[in-house]
Amino acid sequence: MISVSLRFPTGRVHATPWGRQVNEGVVEWPFSPWRILRALIATWHHKAKEAVEESALRRLVEKLASEAPSYYLPAATRGHTRHYMPDNSPYHKEDGKQTFGPQKEKVFDTFVHIQDGQCVEVTWPNVGLTEAEMTALRILLKRLGYFGRAESLVEAVVEDKPARQPNARPLRNGETPANDEELVRVIAPMPAPDYRSWREGYNAARATASPASSAKRKRKPVELALPADVFEALLADTGKLKKAGWSQPPGSRWIDYARPRNVFEIQPSAHRAASHAVRPTVARFAVASQVLPRLTQAISVAERIHQTLVRFSNNAPVFTGLNQTGKPLQGHRHAHIFCESTSYRGGINRVTIFAPDGFDESARRALDKLRKVWGHGGHDLQLILLGMGDKKDFAGREVSRDQCSLFAEATEWRSLTPFVATRHPKTNHSGRPKLDERGLQIGSSEHDLRRLIREAGLPEPVEVRPLKTGVAGKNPVPWLGFQRQRRHGDGCHAGQMGYGFRITFPHGVSGPLAFGYASHFGLGLFVPADEGGRQESGVSSESLRSSGQ
């Protein structure tokens, strides 16, 4: 017996069944065996080729394909969002005329929402694996980052035995669902012997096809080269299969399952203390607009998002920074709103919200409702929630995989947005600067940054080197070119000057790193210094000290 549990930290699963369009509002529940095995193969290709031999993977896939698994489906509900997705093309047709600007397509996005802490369990009752195959499965599940679409973050492990009795089962030999069950069909790979027989029969039929049917195939191709085995069939590109005319992938079969009729009806349960719940600490959004705001406007965008979240959450402390008595929270544990740009033009196209103590239920509801904030010039900003989870779920530097470098580990970090000091430079009675043991003027920008780094519990930097300019997209931007003051709210700051630095630590530290005035609104934000291979212009510490900064 093989049993696998799938836990979704964000509580959401986005998975569209084969042959259905996303706007139909249909979700795959239970997950198809075809999807499960393709996810394992994709994880091997991207993350585990050096750890898992291909021969072990092929044997594992063939064994799991030989049997239709049973499932335990936890209490869940269906939900949906409606939002616009921009077309990357700079031109589109509107009323029959070609128009400049991205086209926006309205998407009806349905998902399954799972109750906190609940897992989906998948069990193959009669499958046995060798030690090498079991090791391969454990490695692949550990490195499986998402399941379904990219926003469906997952934690998958092999269990010794199922924790719950399966409630979704394959129907065999003409069996029908019970009165409290309903029928659902899922797609699965054929067992290896069945596929070989089907492939031989298909090729034999093609070889004896009539000339008329051969000519018809020439006018409209209806097949790709048939894969050699089930493993190769699972590798086939879905888009190419549909374009070639396949109604379902070669090597696949449909299996009837019986699942509970009330599978999407959650029963009331006793309230659990919030301290025992696993709270997500990160919410990451994509930003879409006809005109994206530049990274230099990060503090303004963050303020608008903050105001919306405070309103949606009914003044939740994680967003207001105030406790129930109206006093400020200590330790910077409330939400930080970070704006990012992966565009060469420097437009803000990602927003990451981070709260060290996590988001409670009211905060998560507010984040779910956050879909739009107003933008200057009538260009509202559409926000699409990519997912919620922990820092490790998003950390990385691969832009192609939409990872967030703010949570990466690095030894050297550089300013992404200007640092605004919270203390004034100190002088003695004669007007000369007061210096510390390093020769830094007490209260200067570098001195204040070092103090805040120590207060954050980070190691003492080996070097803090001032930078003349920042980078927005591919262009250098002076620090004075950034907005450096909030329009609403207070905050301690020593003037409105902004500075940039490159920090070198004695060893790698993990982000996020944000210091100084308005750090909760995206100022004083640092990214790994080697991100994107960009080079920044520097200025010596001595010249900055001589200017009294």
Per-residue model confidence as pLDDT tens digits over 394-447: 898 887 677 899 999 999 999 999 999 988 888 888 888 888 888 888 889 999
Locate tokens 């691969």: which residue? Answer: 398
In this structure, what token pair is assigned to residue 216? 């018809």
Per-residue pLDDT at 222: 42
Phi, psi of 81 (to 5 degrees): -125, 155
Please indicate, yes or no, whether residues 56 and 184 belong to a single structural domain of this protein.
yes
E-strand stretches of 115-251 = 119-124, 155-159, 169-170, 181-189
Q: Are 336 and 519 in contact (CB under 8 A)?
A: yes
- Choose the final residue of a domain: 157, 173, 191: 191
Decide if 247 is inside a domain.
no
Residue 445 domain-assigned? yes
Q: Are residues 387 and 456 in the same domain?
A: no
Judge if 478 and 381 occupy the same domain. Answer: no
On whether both 43 and 184 belong to a single domain, the answer is yes
28 falls within a domain? yes
249 belongs to a structural domain: no
Same domain for 444 and 335: no
Residue 315 domain-assigned? yes
* In-domain check, residue 242: no
Q: Bridge partners of 71?
A: 122, 168
Length of the chain: 549
Name, in order, each residue with C-beta under 8 angstroms of 267's C-beta and a sequence gap of 6 or more: 75
Please, what's the largest Cα pairwise distance for the chain?
104
Looking at the structure, tell me whether residues 176 and 324 fall in a common domain.
Answer: no
pLDDT confidence of residue 151: 72
Pairing mode of beta strands 2-7, 119-124: antiparallel
> Do residue 77 and residue 6 come from a single domain?
yes
Q: Does residue 260 lie within any of the structural domains?
A: no
Q: Give the model's pLDDT for residue 36.
A: 92
Determine the pLDDT at residue 315. Answer: 87
CA distances from 346 to 46, 288, 473 (A): 29, 14, 4
| 450 φ/ψ angles, rounded to the nearest 5 degrees | -60, -40
pLDDT of residue 84: 56
Supply the pLDDT for residue 544.
Answer: 38
Say whether both 416 and 483 belong to one domain.
Answer: yes
Phi/psi at 177 (5° precision): -65, 155
Residues 308 and 433 in one domain: no
pLDDT single digits (tens) 503-517? 999 999 999 999 999
End position of a domain, from candidates 367, 392, 417: 392
In a domain? residue 387: yes
* Structure-block tokens of residue 191: 């067992």
pLDDT at 169: 92
Residues of the chain with pLDDT under 70: 19-25, 79-109, 116, 209-225, 265-277, 377-378, 400, 488-494, 531-549
328 and 468 share a domain?
no
- Please give the model's pTM, rounded to 2 decimal places: 0.52
Q: Quick one: which of 278, 265, 279, 280 has its CA closest to 73?
A: 265
Q: Which domain holds residue 37?
A: 2-97+113-191
240 membership: H or E segment, kind and range: helix 238-243
Structure-token pair, residue 371? 């879909």
Taking alpha carbons only, the member of 178, 398, 371, 399 closest to residue 285 is: 371
Single out the residue of 166, 164, 165, 169 nearest to residue 184, CA to CA: 169
Same-domain pairing of 463 and 542: yes
Angle (CA) 208-214-218 rounded to 5° is 150
Residues 514 and 426 in one domain: yes
Contacts of 381 (CB under 8 A, 6+ apart): 287, 288, 289, 292, 293, 301, 304, 372, 373, 374, 375
**Residue where a domain terminates, one of 139, 163, 191:** 191
Distance CA 405, CA 340 (A): 10
The tally of domains found in the chain comes to 3
pLDDT on residue 79: 66
End-to-end CA distance of the chain: 68
pLDDT at 67: 92
Question: How far is residue 284's CA from residue 364's CA, in Å, rounded to a whole number?
Answer: 12
**CATH code (residue 334):** 3.30.70
Q: What is the pLDDT of residue 460?
A: 94
What's the distance, CA 227 to chain centroid?
A: 33
